[in-house]
Amino acid sequence: MQWGQVLDVTSPSSTDEHHDPEERLFAQLITVRMVMFQGKDGSLDDEDWQSLFGWLGIKLPKDAENSRRYSDYAPALKRWWKRATCELDPDTPVTGTLTMLCAHVAELLQLNPLERDILTLTWLRLRHPNMNPILTCVEETRAKKLLAQLTGYGSDEVHLGLQERGRLKMLGLLSHNKSYRPLDLDDTLSSGPMLRSLAPLVNHDVATLSSTALRGFITERLMSLCPAQPAGTFSLASFDAVPLRQLAVDYLRHALDTHQAGANVLIYGAPGVGKTELVKTLASQLGVPLYGVPVVDQDDDVLTPSKRLSRYQVVQKLIDQRPGLVMFDEIEDVINDEEALPKGWMNQLLENNPKPGLWVSNSVYWLDPAYLRRFDMIIEVKAQHGEQAKAHYHELLDELPVTPQGRQHLAAQPWMTPAAAQQLCRLGTLFNPRTPQRNEQHIDTLMTHRLHALGEASTRALPDTSLPAGPSMPEYRIEWLNTRPGLESIVQRLTRRQRGRLCLHGLPGSGKTALAKHLAKRLDRELITAHASSLLDKFVGGTEGKLAALFQQAREQKAVLLLDEVDTLLMQRDNGMQSWEISHTNELLVQIENFDGILLATTNRADSLDRAVMRRFDLKVEFLPLDPEPLRDLLKAVLPERDHHRLATIPASHLAQRRITPGNVRTALDQLDLRGLPIRLNTLMDALTLEEREQHGKRQPIGFV
């Protein structure tokens, strides 16, 4: 083969898939240089020699048939070398599409000249498989010396450039060494996932692009590996269960303004609570783009941990001089993979990133404490249950083909999350929009099975509209309640103070639990209700553990805590009590005293409580039977309009003699419904009379007198 044939890229006799003559000559010169470097220590067999000479376009020496000795081939190689280099100027840099691409990639990723040259050799080796047999002959002990000669740098500098924590391997341009066998130059110059994704660029018509256009082309290609995320749909205020949200905004803004290196935030929480949405909202609040490390590539193939890490580091390099945040979601599969991320690497990742990194996980319990200490902020995201969140869930469920009441009920469920709302809407497209009530039955069955599979309480997702509706109580009104002292001023002070410990005592059904619900709604807080009997544990110390966990949950969620029937746990500590009973009573006293939130404890037997118990409460509120006019208003709300005139004629003195609570009214309505009697003034008053007799002991004794 003549030299002119090599230079003639239009020659039909050319069978090489690479059409850049300078690149091919460059690869051939590097290969021959390696062969001569090895000399007699090389281990090429006769087939390797034949392949090499065929690629170089020269004939095998006649006396070298079936020979493996370097000396038989050396003269022919030296003659080829002399012809190939006779017109090359040693002071002229190698040019061509490949070297031009490597120069731009090195500049974008902040590689030094040595790393750029190693990248060029690795990319060259990837494009010219004819080099591989020679690369495998160069053992690791001599590989770095050879690379030093090829690049013009010292062996120590080459050693540093090839380290596992070096930029080339951390960015995925070179592959990591995961083999325990002796290495060779082929292993050393093995391309990583990032370089393999860049490799097709050479096949584009990039040679005609200007330097600026080529740089933009490569940047766009690299940025597509971590695409920009869409803006979040939540406002920052909607994350009411994330108390550090504003601090996170301030921290990230300061990190961006001061170009702080190593700014990292870990965000965790149960699946579907809105962690990713919070990250998007933080970016929107700061007015900067958010780049996300994907889990799958453009072909929907799952990305390995090492590929995801490479993409994260590449985008960090690319946005070094521009505003932006980088989100790394689902970090479990990466940090748990010691091959993808040795422990020492995590420190470097979290200390040197030029732009703030937001790392998202479902849990932190599996994370090594050494990793956790590297995050400046660790934020837990919990399900949103405030009024703003309910309004947002209601909006997300707007297209679900159910009744307005059903949509409102779903938005208020404790298991509702943005992910759950989106899943229901996707399934809702399969429902018949003309049968909203039947759709609600499907959703109820669907969510009941789902909650059961998740190990959660299987309450009904929606009320059963197929059953006839029974009599209902009117909406709660605090002015109907009769308490000593009055409630309105108490609620106002609790709203202002955001803390307080109240003991609510009085008749059953007088509105103690209803007050807790009203207060939680007014404060826009979650209500945690615990029945004292459910906290008792058969094992010694079990009750104390449940009490501690309950109060801790209330602190974390900043919820209103309601302890119902607290007298079960706080009886007087006399000599008749067992030691374990005294123990859990003491534990509850300590928890009450140390609780700085809003605690409501209800009891129907305040006289049975220990005096030390009563001292722990800031205020004792007694619930009394309804006063005449609030009772008249409540009865008016449940009676048909035709009975309102007769109700108004009942003297207030008569109503004052009645000891009726809202609970009595509810029970009386259910009693009439079960007996099939109409709800009229006479029947209701008779039912209330029976309730009074039952509750206050005005009935005939049973048995012998």
Residue 12: its pLDDT value, please? 36
Residue in this structure with the two tokens 């069955």, named with its chain if needed: 445
Residue 414: its pLDDT value, please? 76
Q: How confident is the model at residue 325 (pLDDT cuts 50, 70, 90)?
A: very high
Q: Which of 329, 356, 343, 189 is nearest to 258 (CA)?
A: 356
Q: Which residue has the higher pLDDT, 512 or 20?
A: 512
CB atoms within 10 A of CB 45: 12
Considering the domain architecture, whether residues 220 and 238 belong to the same structural domain is answered as: no
For residue range 90-113, list pLDDT tens digits in order: 888 888 888 888 888 888 888 999
Please indicate, yes or no, if residue 454 is contained in any of the structural domains.
no
Q: Which of 143, 224, 227 is nearest to 189 (CA)?
A: 143
For residue range 61-87, list pLDDT tens digits in order: 887 777 888 888 889 899 999 988 888
Is-contact 408 440, C-beta < 8 A? no
Of 247-261, 385-399, 408-422, 434-448, the range with the highest mean pLDDT is: 247-261
Considering the domain architecture, whether residues 182 and 151 belong to the same structural domain is answered as: yes
Residue 362: its pLDDT value, please? 87
Considering the domain architecture, whether residues 291 and 247 belong to the same structural domain is answered as: yes
For residue range 445-459, list pLDDT tens digits in order: 888 888 777 666 555
Residue 42: its pLDDT value, please? 82
Residue 428, both tokens: 């809702």
Q: Is the pTM higher than 0.85?
A: no
**Weakest mean pLDDT among 233-237, 382-386, 450-454:** 382-386
Helices (H), 224-359: 245-257, 275-286, 305-318, 332-335, 343-352
Residue in this structure with the two tokens 């960090």, named with its chain if needed: 316
Residue 618: its pLDDT value, please? 87
Bridge partner residues of 409 (DSSP): none
Is-contact 137 43, C-beta < 8 A? yes
Considering the domain architecture, whether residues 605 and 638 belong to the same structural domain is answered as: no
SS3 content of the chain, % helix, strand, coil (to 5): 55, 10, 40
Considering the domain architecture, whether residues 134 and 274 belong to the same structural domain is answered as: no
Residue 7: its pLDDT value, please? 47
Please indicate, yes or no, if residue 105 is contained in any of the structural domains.
yes
Domain that holds residue 439: 387-446
Please indicate, yes or no, if residue 469 is contained in any of the structural domains.
no
For residue 529, the domain's CATH number is: 3.40.50.300
For residue range 129-144, list pLDDT tens digits in order: 889 888 888 888 888 8
Please indicate, yes or no, if residue 470 is contained in any of the structural domains.
no
Residue 256: its pLDDT value, please? 93
Considering the domain architecture, whether residues 609 and 664 belong to the same structural domain is answered as: no
Q: How confident is the model at residue 572 (pLDDT cuts 50, 70, 90)?
A: very low
pLDDT mean across residues, the chain = 82
CA 607, chain centre distance (Å): 50
Residue 88, both tokens: 């090359």
Bridge partner residues of 503 (DSSP): 601, 620
Q: What are phi and psi of 603, to 5 degrees?
A: -155, 150
620 pLDDT exceeds 60?
yes
659 pLDDT exceeds 70?
yes
Please indicate, yes or no, if residue 471 is contained in any of the structural domains.
no
Q: Which residue has the higher pLDDT, 32 or 396?
A: 32
41 pLDDT exceeds 70?
yes
Amino acid identity of residue 587, one-letter, is E
Please indicate, yes or no, if residue 290 is contained in any of the structural domains.
yes
Considering the domain architecture, whether residues 511 and 651 belong to the same structural domain is answered as: no
Considering the domain architecture, whether residues 596 and 637 belong to the same structural domain is answered as: no
Mean pLDDT of 508-529: 86
- Total number of domains constituting the chain: 6
Cβ burial 561-578 (10 Å sphere, 16+ → b, else e): bbbbbbbbbbbebeeeee
- Nearest 5°: the CA angle 345, 141, 56 is 105
Q: Which of 469, 385, 394, 397 is nearest to 439 (CA)?
A: 397
Considering the domain architecture, whether residues 424 and 517 belong to the same structural domain is answered as: no
Considering the domain architecture, whether residues 372 and 271 belong to the same structural domain is answered as: yes
Query: Of 197, 224, 251, which residue is a domain's last?
Result: 224
Distance (Å) of CA 393 to CA 389, 413, 417, 518, 652:
6, 10, 8, 21, 46
- Nearest 5°: the CA angle 173, 176, 182 is 125
- How far apart (Å, rounded) are the C-alpha atoms in residues 63 and 27? 27
Q: How confident is the model at residue 267 (pLDDT cuts 50, 70, 90)?
A: very high
Query: Of 199, 224, 249, which residue is a domain's last?
Result: 224
284 pLDDT exceeds 70?
yes
Please indicate, yes or no, if residue 473 is contained in any of the structural domains.
no
Please indicate, yes or no, if residue 180 is contained in any of the structural domains.
yes
700 pLDDT exceeds 70?
no
Considering the domain architecture, whether residues 494 and 420 belong to the same structural domain is answered as: no
Considering the domain architecture, whether residues 297 and 442 belong to the same structural domain is answered as: no
14 pLDDT exceeds 50?
no
- How far apart (Å, rounded) are the C-alpha atoms in residues 504 and 490? 12
Query: Of 399, 423, 446, which residue is a domain's last?
Result: 446
